[in-house]
Amino acid sequence: MSLDLRTMMLMISVLTLLLSGLLALAGLHAGSIRGVRLWALASLCYSLASFIAFADMTPTSSAWLIVLGAVLVMAGNGLQFSGIQAFKEQRIDWRIPLLIVGVVFAQSVWFTLLYPDASARAIANSLVFALINALCARALLIRIEPPLRTAYWFTGASFAVLAAASLIRAATIFHAPPGTFVGLFSQVPFVPARFLASSLILMCVTFGFILMLNYRLITDMQKIALHDGLTGALNRRGLEEEAIRLSAHCNRKGDTLAIMMIDVDHFKLINDRNGHQLGDKVLQRLAAVAQASVRSDDYFARYGGEEFCILLPSTTEEEARVLADRLRQAYAALTMEFGGEVLRSTISIGVADSIHVGLEFSALVSAADQAMYWAKQKGRNRVVAHSVMVCNVPEIVTI
């Protein structure tokens, strides 16, 4: 069965136009995710290039339309490269896509209008196309955490295939007998099949980006679900999920796990005197101090109300007590100014570890909570270790 090149071009043009619309709509709802609109514009460029080729597909095609089609394809590729940079939260370097488009425009004008040579034009443009696709593949074939890794590698592999196909095309045309290649309108049988395969790979690239966007949205939704909106810390659900994972890890490795329970002293009085908005700012300041104090592998969370919790892997109770006292002093030294009013606040902290109470999360929380309330009873603005509290208050053991 022969392949009708005109029909394929029309279908590819319509499909890429639909993908462009889909990406444009996704960009409206993608929130802070960058790069989506650039990929929508890239698909639009591909659609216009295919439509131009379909509308003027004759051996005597307008030379300027041939140049415009090549420039649109390369502009689409350049927008994809910039879209990848934006998606990865990198600064967009517009020099690369602008240089690529400029080179393709110059060589297309040279080999189409000034010194017409379809073979030379195809070889030159194929080499540039291979280069920009290789750059896109290199930007995506990187080490990254799943599930984004699957989408990154699928899209990167599609770019790599496109780069390889462009190099093969350039080599094939270069080694072909003189006069065999006359551009898109060649009667060589494999040209339509090759065009179809390249178009399908281009669609795989766009599909891969949609996968990247989908996984990023899922990841962002998970972060929102597991983090406290006021302070940015983990919420209770997020903390419990991390605790399950850490407990299993510590049990497997024979490692220790410590915990801090933190409570703002006289927080109700702060709210009653100054209002809940100022109380929220106090919690935000405490969260900022705590997040600056914890280590990179610790887990800081808002447990509820004015209570916060920190999980400390590979940490003993005494080590946790030292870290807690450092946090207590840092917060106590903080002077907060709100609307011209100066406010100072303190915290009470209870600490416990798996050596004394076991690895069960609820037992760790209960032990640290008891120590924290004992710190409040002893005058607040202090750190109490659960094992020390038990030695001083024997009846706690039975609770």
At 215, give phi and psi (nearest 5°): -65, -35
d(CA 295, CA 131): 43
Measured distance CA(13)–CA(53) in Å, rounded: 10
Longest CA–CA span in the chain (Å) reads: 98
Q: Does residue 314 sit in helix, strand or coil?
A: coil
Q: Which of 89, 240, 242, 306 is catalytic?
A: 306
Q: Which residues pair with 304 in a beta bridge?
A: 307
The angle that helices 36-55 and 5-28 make with each other, rounded to 10 degrees, is: 160
**Number of helices (H), then strands (E), in the chain:** 14, 7
Tell me if residue 306 is catalytic: yes
Beta strands 299-304 and 383-385 are unpaired
Nearest-angstrom CA–CA distance, 142 and 148: 11
Q: Which of 102, 105, 217, 96 is nearest to 151 (CA)?
A: 217
Return the structure tokens found at 168.
């093969």
CA dihedral of residues 179, 180, 183, 186 (deg, nearest 10): 130
- Name residue, tokens 């004015």: 306
Contact 353, 258 (CB under 8 A): yes
Residue 165 and residue 197 in contact, taking contact as beta carbons nearer than 8 Å: yes
Q: Are 112 and 145 in contact (CB under 8 A)?
A: no
d(CA 116, CA 381): 84
Tokens representing residue 178 in the block: 């003189």
Rounded CA-CA distance 12/54 in Å is 10
Q: What is the identity of the amino acid at 122?
A: A
Spatial neighbors of 337 by CB under 8 A, at least 6 apart, are 343
What phi and psi values does residue 387 have, to the nearest 5 degrees? -65, -35
Query: Which residues are tagged catalytic?
Result: 306
